[in-house]
Amino acid sequence: MILLETDMHTLLTSAQRVCRNWRSRIEYSVDLQAALFFRPVKYRLPRGELGIRNPLPTDYIWPFFCARNELYWGAPPIEGGAEIPMYNPRDIERFFREGASWRRMLFQQSPRSCIGLVEEDGKAADGPAYTEAKVRPFEDYLRIGDIIFSYEDSFHHPHEALGRRPLIHPLPEEGLLWNTGASLTMYPPV
């Protein structure tokens, strides 16, 4: 089928506008939904083996939130000379509209529900401390929206939040810098 050979960005945006038949096929095809990182694939990778990463966080999502954070709270500490992307205010509606599909996307295939926390000022003898936390929101896999929602309130109403720093600060290389002065909360509150 031609849709299985179509790139992810086209499937998510313009291909669904071609006709109702294509939209329906994209929406209800298990294989296409897995290729778009909305549904888990049917296989499992052994622990430690790298999965297929969703390219959208690197290409679109982290750059938007990284640039937005810099605008309101200043640049995070970045090593290696990485550049913070430009902030485009027109993207706000795309990222914050009700039901935005990127929130339901998995980070990788086959999906995992673990977050690795690297503590730069940790107590490890040979460098940063590393902790792995298992997160299973609603008995599902970890999705992009589960991470973003932990600080969305401070962005959703930016004029009310100008004095508050976000809990999580995205970095250009897919990483997340944790604000250690804030407490970790799950969204929605349990």
* 21 lies in the same domain as 57: no
Same domain, 170 and 125: yes
How confident is the model at residue 16, as a pLDDT? Answer: 82
**Does residue 6 carry a pLDDT above 60?**
yes
Residue 82: pLDDT over 50 = yes
- Same domain? For 73 and 113 the reply is yes
**Domain count along the chain:** 2
The SS3 call for residue 13 is coil
DSSP state, residue 181: T
- The model carries a pTM of 0.64
Query: Residue length, the chain?
Result: 190
> Are 58 and 13 in a shared domain?
no
Q: What is the identity of the amino acid at 75?
A: A
* Alpha helix (H) residue ranges in the chain: 8-12, 20-28, 30-35, 55-56, 62-73, 91-96, 144-148, 152-156
Q: Average pLDDT of 50-70? A: 75
User: DSSP assignment of 134-146, as one string?
Assistant: E--GGGS--BHHH
Q: Do residues 20 and 49 both lie within one domain?
A: no
190 is a domain residue: no
Please indicate, yes or no, if residue 21 is contained in any of the structural domains.
yes
22/115 same-domain check: no
Domain residues for the domain of 160 are 41-178
User: Are 30 and 49 in a shared domain?
Assistant: no
Q: Examine the domain organization and report whether 152 and 62 are in the same domain.
A: yes
Lowest mean pLDDT among 24-33, 60-69, 81-90, 161-170: 161-170
Q: Based on the domain organization, do 171 and 91 belong to the same domain?
A: yes
